[in-house]
Amino acid sequence: MKRLFGTDGVRGIVNEELTPELAMKIGNAAGRFFLGKYDTLVIAKDTRGSGDLLEAALASGAASAGMNVQLAGVLPTPGLAYCTRQNRFLGAVISASHNPAVYNGIKLIAEGMKISDEEEVEIENLIDSVPLHYSVFSKVGSISYVSHHRRDYIAYVSGLFEGHRFADVEVLVDAANGAVFSVVREVLGTLRIDAEYAFVNPDGININEKCGSTHHESTCRLLKNGQIGVLFDGDADRCLMISENRKLVDGDMIMALNAQKMQRTERLSNGTVVSTVMSNLGFEHFLKTRGLRLIRTRVGDKYVLEKMLETGSRLGGEQSGHLIFLDRSTTGDGLITALETLNALAELDMSLNEFTDSFPVFPQVLKNVPVADRRKVMDSEKLKTLLDRARKDTDLRVVVRPSGTEPLIRIMVEGMNENKVRDTAEKLAEIIEETNGE
């Protein structure tokens, strides 16, 4: 059972849950665990002011264990994943993704993929048994600043789409005041995509603040007639879009659009798409009517990737906008997702409005309920009884799970009858709030 690592690394409030001391222990334990397999740790970060603090601690911990460290500066998570895959390095991203600046996090990537649950448990065990272990002075690792990883990632993404057609529409890029601001202008400029930019002035505390993929209302207000919005999160591993008529286009819809293009170009591979239990039934219906199959996994893009590798699927992702094009990248990449989608619109000769109008969406309610003790609430007999009853209703699909990154219980209820869906979600939320208060 993992204690520190959640579904997307270690995450917490800066200097309360995620301290420099903990960052140093993680760096030291990761260095000890992977030394011998990798000799270099590359550290990237998003634009949070706390990134410098945690970077210094993480680097010191790894170097003290004998691992060389490269500091890549502000770089999207998929940019780090690319450079670790190309160079066979270990990587660490300092980011709390879509969360506000009061949070930060650390996630470890090895050769392009997030490390496994088993490896995370081993690192936790090292921290618990011997929090810090120092190598002899002659074996201490070096720490250096590098800039070429950012340039390499820009060149890679630009090269992937050189000569491709894109939708003849101006895009409004919402960079969430996050890591994508360091690469997006150069990539879109190289590909001659007509773009305006918003929320590209990070100040250390404004990342995801009323902007980005979790606050699409801001982009909707800024959108001009005929534009479409492209929204990133803080570390740019997810992308959502806004259609010309200001409708949010979520990860399910973006996957569906790209599945249609990839099927036509025989790039999809084995006719399957991988997503999570949170994906809308309308998405599954859309694929089925086109002779395609949806495979569901537990929530978390690392689990989506595992299933894609197992089944040979080339397209997978989450409703939240983490999309993996496995023949392009081994992790969710918001920039690649945006470019693939703009290319899909051109190849299918349709507008984003036209596509969303044709996409079936079943009634679905999502709720996040703050709790003090996630395990206590999930073990509640009242909640288990109500869940058993709801899951026996064949007209409903119900998912209740603890968040892997925040003190929340997440509720998803879906079905054909909107009133029944909403009532069931409300009852579940009431039970959770009642149990939390006991």
Active site residues: 97
The first and second tokens of residue 425, run together, are 């979600």
C-alpha closest to that of 184 among 83, 82, 76, 258:
76
- Tell me the three-class secondary structure of the chain, residue by residue: CCCCCEECEEEEEECCCECHHHHHHHHHHHHHHHECCECEEEEEECCCCCHHHHHHHHHHHHHHCCCEEEEEEECCHHHHHHHHHHHCCEEEEECCCCCCCCEEEEEEEECCEECCHHHHHHHHHHHHHCCCCCCCHHHCCCEEECCHHHHHHHHHHHHHCCCCCCCCCCEEEECCCCHHHHCHHHHHHHCCCCEEEECCCCCCCCCCCCCCCCCHHHHHHHCCCCCEEEEECCCCCCEEEECCCCCEECHHHHHHHHHHHHHHCCCCCCCEEEEECCCCHHHHHHHHCCCCEEEEECCCHHHHHHHHHHHCCCEEECCCCCEEECCCCCCCCHHHHHHHHHHHHHHHCCCHHHHHHHCCCCCEEEEEEECCCHHHHHCCHHHHHHHHHHHCCCCEEEEEEECCCCCEEEEEEEECCHHHHHHHHHHHHHHHHHHHHC
Given a contact cutoff of 8 angstroms between Cβ atoms, the answer to whether 276 and 299 are in contact is: yes
Q: In angstroms, rounded to a whole number, what is the distance separating the alpha carbons of residues 139 and 376?
A: 46
